[in-house]
Chains A and B, each alone.
Chain A
Amino acid sequence: MPRRNDIHKILVIGSGPIVIGQACEFDYSGTQGCKALKEEGYEVVLVNSNPATIMTDPETGDRTYIEPIIPEALERIIEAERPDCLLPTLGGQTALNAAVSLADLGILEKYNVELIGAKMPAIQKAEDRELFKAAMASIGQEIPQSAYVRNMQEALDAIDEIGFPVIIRPSFTLGGSGAGTAYNREEYEETVRWGLECSPVHTILVEESVLGWKEYELEVMRDLADNVVIICSIENFDPMGVHTGDSITVAPAQTLTDKEYQLMRDAAIDIIREIGVETGGSNIQFAVNPEDGRMVVIEMNPRVSRSSALASKATGFPIAKIAAKLAVGYTLDEIRNDITRETPASFEPTIDYVVTKIPRWAFEKLPGANATLGTQMKSVGEAMSIGRTFKESLQKGLRSLEIDRYGLGCDGKDKFVFHDPAHPRYRKASDPVVREEIEKKLKIPNPDRIFYIRYAFQAGYSLEQVFDLCKVDPWFLANVQEIIMMEDELRAIKDDVQPLISS
């Protein structure tokens, strides 16, 4: 299908201010999308309240409005500009929510503005947990056992059914705000109360905990001819329980057999079709029980997401750009692949390297903030790195964080030094205070956990013990262990590096 000629002017909503949970990744996707639309000869009207964005540069859109992303302001812009359609999928959750408000208030209908990329029913099906649950059931996809509650009494009834621990997820919120995990009645009541308050529609989902399960994401694209391709698979280093934005994530998936990966791929394709995202990218998250491989669907973002930016950079497939072109009618086989320039975009990138994303927190700037990681995102940025092995990309990523570390150890910056009694920070591996701290830092997710995994191995914990404490997949742990083994080998031959050079 060629580009649509019945539309001329397209309204694009940006993501507004940079906040924790929604950073500049949507400036990246929005800018890319606007450029693609302009390239196709459409008139682009852009709204973003944040002037500190590339997107609001004069050359990005034909008309740029720096106005609040609220229905009142958007209506005035629509009234003045009379766009033919609105592309709401490039500006993160903020843009998507704004589009939902405009539709609910009848503004889109009033000015005859068509939603492209994702239609209202698709957005609702993906975002409303009750509708999502029904949609998944209709295509035979399992989701964690759950109940949808509107007040404390319903919440108390629900917990009797599901049992602890549970995860509380408010509907229609940003970066998982208001979400939390409860292990007991007291925590539960507190989290429910806060969650109900955070949700603009005062509804929350109480969900069976899949804490400690393996977490995966797939980036999916679909066109108007119903072609679907998977751009990238991502496996989280941190198991379920830590927000993806706060997890170390790795592309491609590392520990799935082809049978299991294809099962997930098939599920993702069924999901994007069932939810009804007509064109563009979606992000679908899965949890897999490491004991028996049971796979459940966690959520779907019917839009370009934080992970899309990562997946674009990881694979060279510009998701936002292609999403914009699909939204105006092109099919995947009609768009050229940016990398090869010869082959079409209807392919699935395959890579011969490992990509690691490591979140960057800034708790030092937020005194008093709780540095425990959970279902609410707390990181303020991330580093991405590419290596031919996971070890290489992890080391490069840690070095890129600008946290004054040169990687995992070997940089003289360790808190505990176990091998050299003469070192000022020398600690005995058997020191109970040290062991207590290590175990706590492994058990409760926190920004330094990766470094404590290293301390644990150095202090003599076995791989099984470390796994029991942190539930990070043994494959990742073995790789961390290998970095330490290499460090030990280097230390052992520090006076004579010849054996290493010649090997």
Chain B
Amino acid sequence: MVSHEFSSIHRPPAVLALEDGTIFRGRAFGALTESGGEVVFNTSMTGYQEVLTDPSYYGQIVTMTYPLIGNYGVNEEDVESKRIQVAGFIIKEPSRLYSNWRGGVSLEEWMMSQNVAGLCGIDTRALVRKLRNVGVMRGVILPGEGGDDAVGKARAVPSMAGLDLVKAVTTGEPYDWNQSLHALHKQTLPDGIERAPFRVVAYDFGIKQNILRNLAERVSELHVVPATASAEDVLAMKPDGVFLSNGPGDPEPVDYAINSVRGLLGKVPVFGICLGHQILGLALGGKTYKLKFGHRGANQPVKDLDTGKIDITSQNHGFCVDADSMPGDGVRVTHLNLNDNTVEGLEDQAKMCFSVQYHPEASPGPHDATHHFDKFIDLMKKQGG
């Protein structure tokens, strides 16, 4: 428990400038530094630590719709990568004191130690309404009063469509992963998950560690390769299955990965999540498009079209697979989002692949969809291991 003086009105000023000319005036939170990115919002009421370390948020300034953030501090376990990935963080009210048995450091100290800019004390609801109405926008957090060129700086932030952000977050070198789920998460798994004797190769497009933990919980060998690994490289590793990870931004410019996946299809079971799902969709001949304000939160209802079951899912994506673009030869849409009927899952049985747009690994979010990892194991079993 660390307490600072109650000082919100004494914090130095800072602003958020948006490309449409709007300026939100608030107070600095975290590092006093200038930072630009695509401004998006997340509706999860818990899990800010996981959100901040999710590489899919690379290049984005994330606003939390829940107003009170930092309440339980930051701990060593609940991270999704080695560092904070967001370009900036916007909240209504930072907690002066954190209270949780696992909390080790305050959110603000953590952000400062990693030089991540934040903004607090603005009307985040007004900002979110604007993003919902207008769509996501480029923006910049600036310490101080902003100055005349604030909006110009927001407009100078590169647009996300057409940008390959995967290169910035993928691993440089291949590595092996062994760590299974944290005790707290494992507690809720059905008993008797055994490590199947499978070798899985996971493409790192900005992979969340909880995906690796979920896979390592279920398979004996897990190798992570850079996004640029070719199909030949991967097949040479003789995998029983290939996993396509989540990652930031637009899938279309990640053409090298789309090509690699084409080379894997039909040869080995493939499972994709989020960006991995979009890349699979593109490799199968479909198209993707940008959503107005994306899906970012932990309460998205998804319906399994085969069983009628509904999972409440964790999501984080700004792009989406176009259902109408999918070629009619074997690929089918397996899951739909009940809020806006967008594609949430694909499957091509002949090509031994399936994918989901949402996050079965949760973290943050509900565990309803964990069964997809087991489905991947079953698919590998069916192929004779």
**Chain A interface residues (CB < 8 Å from chain B):** 225-227, 229-230, 233, 252-263, 265-267, 289-293, 331-333, 343-344, 346-354, 388-390, 463, 473-475, 478, 481-482, 485-486, 489, 500, 503
Q: A265's closest neighbor in chain B, by CB?
A: B366
Contacts of B184 in A (CB 8 A): 259-260, 263, 293
Say whether, besides A227-B310, A352-B67, A473-B99, A343 and B45 are in contact (CB < 8 Å). no
> With A352-B67, A500-B9 known to touch, is A258 a contact of B99 (CB < 8 Å)?
no
In the complex, what residue of chain A is closest to B64 when comparing beta carbons?
A352
Q: Are B367 and A388 in contact (CB under 8 A)?
A: no
Q: Which residues from 31 to 58 on chain B have a C-beta closer than 8 Å to any C-beta of chain A? A: 43-47, 49-50
Closest to B50 in A: A258
- Per-position 1/0 for B1-16, Cβ under 8 A of A: 1010010010000000
**A350 engages B45 (CB within 8 Å):** yes
A266 touches B77 (CB 8 A): no
- Which of B90-98, B222-230, B245-253, B351-359 interfaces with chain A? B90-98
29 pairs, CB–CB < 8 Å, chain A vs chain B? A226-B309, A252-B45, A252-B66, A254-B68, A254-B71, A255-B71, A255-B72, A258-B44, A258-B78, A258-B298, A258-B365, A259-B78, A262-B366, A262-B367, A263-B184, A266-B188, A293-B101, A293-B102, A333-B303, A333-B338, A344-B338, A346-B312, A350-B43, A350-B298, A350-B299, A352-B124, A353-B67, A478-B96, A485-B6
Q: Are B68 and A478 in contact (CB under 8 A)?
A: no
Give the CA-CA distance A351 to B298 in the complex, in Å: 12
Given A352-B65, A352-B124, A388-B125, A257 contacting B310 (CB threshold 8 A): no
A257 lies within 8 A of B93 (CB): no
- Of A263, A475, A481, A486, which one neighbours B98 at CB under 8 angstroms? A475
Q: With a CB–CB cut-off of 8 A, which chain B residues contact A331?
A: 308
Are A482 and B6 within 8 A (Cβ)?
yes
Q: Give the residues in chain B near A473, CB-CB below 8 Å.
A: 99
| Neighbouring A residues of B300 by C-beta, 8 Å | 347
Q: Cβ of A292: which chain B residues have Cβ within 8 Å of it?
A: 101
Least CB distance, A475 to chain B, in whole angstroms: 4
Docked complex Cα distance between A503 and B8 (Å): 10
Per-residue interface assignment for chain B, residues 73 to 97, with 1 indicating a CB less than 8 Å from any chain A CB and 0 otherwise:
0010110000000000000110111
Contacts A257-B72, A262-B366 given; does A348 touch B312 at CB 8 Å? yes
Contacts of A485 in B (CB 8 A): 6
Q: Does B269 contact A (CB under 8 A)?
A: no
Q: Which residues of A contact B100 (CB under 8 A)?
A: 255-257, 260
Q: Which residues of A contact B267 (CB under 8 A)?
A: none
- Give chain B residues whose Cβ lies under 8 Å from the Cβ of A349: 299
Known: A257-B102, A262-B362. A352 touches B125 (CB 8 A): yes
A347–B312 touching, CB < 8 Å: yes
Chain A: minimal CB distance from B147 (Å): 19
Chain A residues lying within 8 Å of B365, measured Cβ to Cβ, are 258, 262
Instruction: Apart from A226-B309, A485-B6, list 14 A-B contacts with CB within 8 A.
Output: A252-B66, A259-B184, A262-B366, A263-B188, A293-B184, A332-B310, A333-B301, A346-B310, A346-B312, A347-B299, A352-B124, A389-B92, A475-B98, A500-B9
B309: which A residues are within 8 A, CB to CB? 225-227
Chain A neighbourhood of B93, CB < 8 A? 388-389
Given B6, B182, B367, which contacts A481 in the complex, CB threshold below 8 Å? B6
State which of A258, A293, A475 has its C-beta within 8 Å of the C-beta of B364.
A258
| Tally of B interface residues using CB under 8 Å | 56
| Closest 10 pairs between A and B when the two form their complex, measured CB to CB | A258-B47, A258-B364, A266-B188, A478-B97, A475-B99, A258-B46, A348-B299, A485-B6, A352-B65, A503-B9
- Taking CB atoms, residues of chain B closer than 8 Å to A263 are 184-185, 187-188
User: Quick check: A475 and B67 within 8 Å, CB to CB?
Assistant: no
Q: Would A346 and B68 count as touching, CB distance under 8 A?
A: no
Fill in one digit per residue for B357-385: 1 if any A CB lies within 8 Å of its CB, else 0.
Answer: 00000111111000000000000000000
Residue in B72, B297, B310 whose beta carbon sits within 8 Å of that of A333 in the complex: B310
Residues of B within 8 A of A353 (CB): 67
> B128 contacts the other chain (Cβ, under 8 Å)?
yes
Report whether B68 and A266 are in contact in the complex, using a CB–CB cutoff of 8 Å. no
Tell whether, in the assembled complex, residue B312 and residue A229 are in contact, meaning their CB atoms are under 8 Å apart: yes
Instruction: List the A residue with the shortest CB-CB distance to B98.
Output: A475
User: CA A265 – CA B367 in complex, angstroms?
Assistant: 9
B113: CB under 8 A from chain A? no
Report Cα–Cα, A225/B309, bound state, in Å.
7
Is B339 an interface position by the 8 A CB rule?
Answer: yes
With contacts A225-B309, A290-B101 known, is A347 near B339, CB below 8 A?
Answer: yes
Give the distance to chain B from A386, nearest Cβ to Cβ, in Å.
11
Of B9, B66, B312, B339, the contact of A351 (CB 8 Å cutoff): B66
Closest CB of chain B to A337's CB: distance in Å?
9
Q: How far is the CA of A267 from the CA of B187 in the complex (A)?
A: 10
Task: State A79–B357 Cα separation when bound (angstroms).
Answer: 55
- Looking at the assembled complex, report how far the CB atom of A354 sits from the nearest CB atom of chain B, in whole angstroms: 7
A254 to chain B, nearest CB (A): 5
B187 cross-chain contacts in A, Cβ below 8 A = 263
- Of B43, B184, B362, the most chain A CB neighbours within 10 A belong to B184
Beyond A290-B101, A350-B297, A475-B97, whether A389 also contacts B188 by CB under 8 A is no
The verdict on A257 contacting B78 (CB below 8 Å), with A350-B298, A354-B68 known, is: yes
CB distance from B188 to the nearest CB of A (A): 4
| Complex Cα spacing A417 to B163, Å | 62
Chain B 212-252 per-residue mask, 1 if CB under 8 angstroms from chain A, else 0: 00000000000000000000000000000000000000000
Q: Given A258-B50, A475-B95, check contact A344 B301 (CB 8 Å).
A: yes
* Cα A172 to Cα B1 with chains together (Å): 41
Please name the residue on chain B nearest to A489 by beta carbon. Answer: B9
CB distance from B383 to the nearest CB of A (A): 30
Residues 177 to 217 of chain B near chain A (Cβ within 8 Å):
182, 184-185, 187-188
Nearest B residue to A291, CB-CB: B101
Q: B366 contacts which chain A residues (CB < 8 A)?
A: 262, 265, 348
B12 to chain A, nearest CB (A): 11
B7 to A: closest C-beta gap in Å: 9
For the complex formed, measure the closest distance between the CB of A346 and the CB atoms of chain B, giving whole angstroms: 5
A266 and B102 contacting across the interface, CB-CB below 8 Å:
no
A267 to B184, CA, bound (A): 12
- Taking CB atoms and an 8 Å cut-off, the chain B residues in 96-110 that contact chain A are 96-102
Using CB atoms, name the residue of chain A closest to B92: A388
Q: Are A257 and B65 in contact (CB under 8 A)?
A: no
Interchain CB contact under 8 A, A346 and B9 = no
Q: How far is the CA of A293 from the CA of B187 in the complex (A)?
A: 13
Name the residue on A nearest B41 (C-beta): A352
Find out whether the CB atom of B66 lies under 8 angstroms from the CB atom of A255.
no
Q: Do the beta carbons of B43 and A474 come within 8 Å of each other?
A: no
Complex CA–CA separation, A350 to B364 (angstroms) = 14
Q: Which residues of B contact A347 (CB under 8 A)?
A: 299-301, 312, 338-339
